[in-house]
Amino acid sequence: MAAKTANHKAWWLVAPVVALVAFNALIPMMTVVNYSFQETFGDNVFFFEGFKWYEQVLGSERFHAALGRQLAFTFTILVIEIPLGVAVALAMPRKGIGVSVCLVLMALPLLIPWNVVGAMWNIFALPDIGLLGRALNGLGLAYDFTQDPTSAWITTIVMDVWHWTSLVVLLAYAGLRSIPEAYYQAAKIDGASAWAIFRHIQLSKMKRVLTIAVLLRFMDSFMIYTEPFVLTGGGPGNTTTFLSIDLVKIALGQFDLGPAAAMSLIYFLIVLLLSWVFYSLMMRNEER
């Protein structure tokens, strides 16, 4: 691709986007920063507290536990969703009516409002009236996601896999489609094994889309709120209380704006750091 021309007037083309996003991002963000240094008793009356909330949040068991659960959750779903998505994309048909059928059916979970996803899995997994709960209990397993932490965890993870693996499938499939037929023919002539084709042609061509998939899944799963909130309400106990759920509990449930704001900013800094690392790696791959 030809080099880009230097043109500072291009700022005019970007201006509407900057204005819209800045309005939605900067004003609330500044407000959150302001909240995080103050104590409030409602009615817009605030008292300056310095770094009190930051110290409190950083030192609290509750925050560490929520962060730990969040990291465990995000890691688990990435480990399941990425390979599963790639496997399904590899096995998908390349032409004919099958392509449309697969694409439409697979994209369906992505288009369901998140609270409906939670409600759907709730009634699907309930041990007394749900298909999954009934079936598992029928097999003699002690499964009850409302009471048992292990069941709750497994249900939340399976729900997320159900919900989002299709995004990985779509992206990986797009990457596969961009491989010219000639590559496969050349590989055939060389007598390459299926594994070699996967390793050297398919995987290397999918690298870019897979980085995007990991980045998107990482960012979105790190701020997951609605689905587990509707499914388990963060319970039983606090076992499925992820960062966002805890945040809303503090901010709206207890109306502790200061600690909630401080926690949001710490949370945001962590996501920013990890995403920047991913992004830099992605851009480096692209330059090669």
CA distance 4 to 85: 35
Nearest approach, Cβ of residue 239 and other proteins (Å): 19
37 phi and psi angles, rounded to 5 deg = -105, 5
Binding to other proteins, residues 261-280 (CB under 8 A): 261, 264-269, 271-273, 275-276, 279-280
Is 193 an interacting residue with respect to other proteins (CB under 8 A)? Answer: no
Q: Which residues pair with 38 in a beta bridge?
A: 48
**Buried/exposed 149-174: b ≥16 CB within 10 Å, e otherwise:** eebbbebbbebbbebbbbbbbbbbbe
> What minimum distance in Å lies between the beta carbon of 111 and other proteins?
3
Scan residues 219-248 and list those touching other proteins (CB under 8 A): 219, 222-223, 225-226, 230, 243-244, 247-248
According to DSSP, the residues that pair with 39 across neighbouring strands are: 47
Burial 179-195 (b: 16+ CB within 10 A, else e): eeeeeeeebeeeebeee
> Among 143, 145, 173, 232, which residue interacts with other proteins (rule: CB under 8 A)?
173
Return the structure tokens found at 160. 């997320």
- As measured in angstroms, the least distance from the Cβ of 148 to other proteins is 20
Give every CB contact of residue 38 below 8 A, 6+ residues apart in sequence. Answer: 46, 47, 48, 49, 257, 258
The nearest distance, CB 186 to other proteins, in angstroms, is 20
Sole binder of other proteins in the list 76, 78, 115, 203 (CB under 8 A): 115
Question: How many residues interact with other proteins (rule CB under 8 A)?
Answer: 118
CB of 125 to other proteins, least distance (A): 9
Query: Per CB under 8 A, does 195 bind other proteins?
Result: no
DSSP summary character for residue 143: -
Token representation of residue 56: 């409190």
- Within residues 116-155, the interface with other proteins by CB under 8 A covers 116, 119-121, 123-124, 128-132, 134
Told to check if 88 binds other proteins by CB under 8 A, we report yes
Return the residue of 83, 93, 150, 196 that touches other proteins, per CB under 8 A.
93
- Selected binder of other proteins within 79, 100, 196, 254 (CB under 8 A): 100
State which H helix or E strand residue 204 sits in: helix 203-222
Residue 237 beta carbon to other proteins: minimum distance, rounded to whole angstroms: 20
Number of alpha carbons in the 13 Å side-chain half-sphere of residue 156: 32
From the list 42, 61, 97, 113, which residue makes contact with other proteins (rule: CB under 8 A)?
113
Q: d(Cα 96, Cα 28) in Å, to the nearest integer?
A: 49
Nearest alpha-carbon partner for 183 in 172, 196, 173? 196
Binding residues among 2-61 for other proteins as defined by CB under 8 A: 2, 4-11, 13-14, 16-18, 20-21, 23-25, 27-35, 37-38, 40, 44, 46, 48, 50-52, 54-55, 58-59
Measured at the CA of 189, the angle between CA 183 and CA 190, to 5 degrees, comes to 90
Q: Single out the segment in contact with other proteins by CB under 8 A; choices: 101-109, 142-150, 181-189, 197-205.
A: 101-109
Q: Provide the minimum distance between the beta carbon of 50 and other proteins in the complex, in angstroms, as a whole number.
A: 6
